[in-house]
């Protein structure tokens, strides 16, 4: 099919990790298989890992994970996997933000694993006349396991195209003032309605980031440093010290050593110490997902309470918070600068079509 390039449009593509299509073992299995077969994610020799994955992990984990997904699945016609629902809402809100700023930018969301696949969304954008493409991974901290894998997949897909778009990539924004400000506002917004912890009385705030194997740090992956920088900047923005607000790493997978301190044992030990109140926030996850809603808000909560801890407060991820949507627009705008603008008449036409489509969506 011949695709019109007359529109010369710029697109911002948000990319998140991915999630199964349904909370069932049958749907979780292919998603996990695609995810865990990525050599950027699991760096174990191919043949050995193929056997472990297909003969042990997938048969056992698919069913167990499906039950966990079922416990957080969002109901209703706009429901589904939380990661997808929140990421889609973020893309819609960002598109609205650009329209309000008078910018003609296409915005969409794709998943690295599962659906909507990066390939299908890129094809859709190509059909809409995309000529310039900004990749914005929903990973504020760079890691080869996530960001690099996403970039690899973009290159792989467009390498097959005859007419390629101009391409820009956002590597990280772990210390971007707009991101830090959105995190700070999210924590303070929670405290406005649930009271602020009494840090002088020993209450704690914990920043839990997704873990990665320690050997990735030894090999030079900057993820660990970037998580700590985010943690420090957020702590300073909230006026707290390193004892009051700690950084930990969650979601350990397998037997190898991962980044420490681990979230669950830290929380358990705070429970044993009879910590009066523990607030926990996941700054590295822009969207709530299985790892935050099930692991942190349910499993780790139980461990804290069982160990003898007092109040446990889970602070939701940024999701669609106004400060985050403004922050994302600023992060994107920093990288869109200098790209040729479409002629004004074309831009006005594209914008009015976009507005009409947005209005039709609302109805
Ligand atoms: C080898 C294993 C894994 C690495 C390395 C890893 C890195 C990593 N992951 C995220 C973000 C997310 N991970 C999520 C789920 C998830 N992660 C792993 C394993 C590794 N992650 C597994 C097996 C799963 C699936 C769930 C399970 O079966 O327990 C999610 C949530 C997905 C959802 O559907 O809600 C996110 C988000 C980051 C940021 C990261 C490295 C920096
Ligand atoms: Fe993960
Ligand atoms: Fe988990």
| Residue found by looking up tokens 């699945």 in the block | 73
DSSP class of 342 = P
What CA–CA distance (Å, rounded) separates 226 from 241?
18
Q: Which of 61, 68, 208, 253 to mutate to test the pocket of ligand 1 (most atoms within 8 A of CB)?
A: 253
Rounded alpha-carbon distances, angstroms, from residue 175 to 31, 228, 287, 333: 31, 10, 18, 16
Which pLDDT belongs to residue 218? Answer: 98
What CA–CA distance (Å, rounded) separates 279 from 189?
13
What CA–CA distance (Å, rounded) separates 152 from 79?
30
Is the whole-model pTM more than 0.90? yes
ipTM entry: 0.97
Number of the ligand 1 atom closest to the C-alpha atom of 287: 37
Q: What is the pLDDT of residues 48-57, one digit of tens each?
A: 999 999 999 9
Which residues have CB under 8 Å from 151's CB, separation 6+?
135, 169
User: What residue owns the CA closest to ligand 1's atom 25?
Assistant: 32
**Which ligand does the CA of 282 lie closest to?**
1
Question: How many angstroms is it from 95 CA to the middle of ligand 3?
Answer: 31
- Phi, psi for residue 74 in degrees, rounded to 5: -90, 130
Does residue 290's CB lie within 6 angstroms of at least one atom of ligand 1?
A: yes
Q: Taking a C-beta distance cutoff of 8 angstroms, is the pair 64, 2 a contact?
A: no
Q: Taking a C-beta distance cutoff of 8 angstroms, is the pair 296, 314 a contact?
A: yes
Question: How many angstroms is it from 67 CA to the middle of ligand 2?
Answer: 17
Q: How many CB atoms within 10 Å of residue 120?
A: 13
Domains located in the chain, CATH noted: 1-16+81-172+344-363 (3.40.50), 21-79 (no CATH), 177-315 (3.40.50.1400)
In this structure, what token pair is assigned to residue 124? 């859709």
Which pLDDT belongs to residue 5? Answer: 45
Question: What are the pLDDT tens digits along the chain (363 aa)?
Answer: 444 445 789 999 999 999 999 999 999 999 999 999 999 999 999 999 999 999 999 999 999 999 999 999 999 999 999 999 999 999 999 999 999 999 999 999 999 999 999 999 999 999 999 999 999 999 999 999 999 999 999 999 999 999 999 999 999 999 999 999 999 999 999 999 999 999 999 999 999 999 999 999 999 999 999 999 999 999 999 999 999 999 999 999 999 999 999 999 999 999 999 999 999 999 999 999 999 999 999 999 999 999 999 999 999 999 999 999 999 999 999 999 988 766 556 666 666 776 676 666 655
């Amino acid at each position: 099919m011949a695709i019109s390039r007359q529109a010369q449009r710029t697109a911002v593509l948000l990319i998140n990790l991915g999630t199964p299509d349904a909370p069932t073992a049958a749907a979780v299995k292919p998603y996990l298989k695609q995810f865990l077969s990525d050599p950027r994610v699991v760096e174990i020799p191919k043949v050995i890992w193929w056997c472990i994955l297909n003969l042990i992990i997938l048969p056992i984990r698919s069913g167990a994970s499906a039950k966990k997904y079922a416990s957080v699945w969002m109901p209703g016609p706009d429901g589904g996997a939380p990661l997808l629902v929140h990421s889609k809402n973020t893309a819609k809100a960002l598109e609205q933000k650009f329209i309000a700023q008078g910018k003609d930018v296409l915005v969409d969301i794709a998943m690295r694993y599962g659906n909507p696949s990066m390939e299908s969304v890129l094809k859709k954008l190509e059909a809409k006349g995309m000529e310039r493409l900004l990749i914005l991974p929903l990973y504020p901290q760079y890691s080869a396991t996530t960001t690099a894998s996403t970039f690899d997949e973009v290159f792989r897909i467009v390498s097959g195209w005859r007419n390629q778009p101009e391409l820009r990539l956002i590597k990280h924004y772990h210390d971007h003032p707009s991101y830090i400000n959105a995190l700070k506002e999210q924590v303070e917004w929670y405290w406005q309605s649930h009271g602020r912890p009494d840090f002088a009385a020993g209450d704690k705030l914990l920043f839990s980031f997704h873990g990665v194997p320690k050997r990735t740090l030894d090999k030079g992956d900057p993820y660990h440093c970037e998580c700590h920088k985010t943690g420090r900047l957020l702590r300073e923005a909230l006026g707290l010290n390193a004892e009051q607000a700690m950084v930990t790493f969650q979601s350990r997978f397998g037997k190898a050593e991962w980044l420490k301190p681990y979230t669950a044992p830290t929380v358990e030990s705070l429970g044993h110490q009879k910590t009066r109140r523990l607030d926990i926030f996941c700054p590295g996850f822009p969207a709530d997902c299985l790892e935050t809603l099930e692991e942190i808000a349910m499993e780790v909560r139980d461990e804290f309470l069982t160990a003898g801890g007092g109040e446990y407060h889970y602070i939701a991820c940024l999701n669609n918070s106004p400060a985050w949507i403004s922050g994302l627009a600023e992060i994107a705008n920093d990288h869109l600068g200098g790209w040729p603008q479409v002629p004004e008449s074309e831009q006005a036409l594209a914008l009015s079509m976009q507005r009409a489509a947005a209005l039709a969506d609302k109805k």
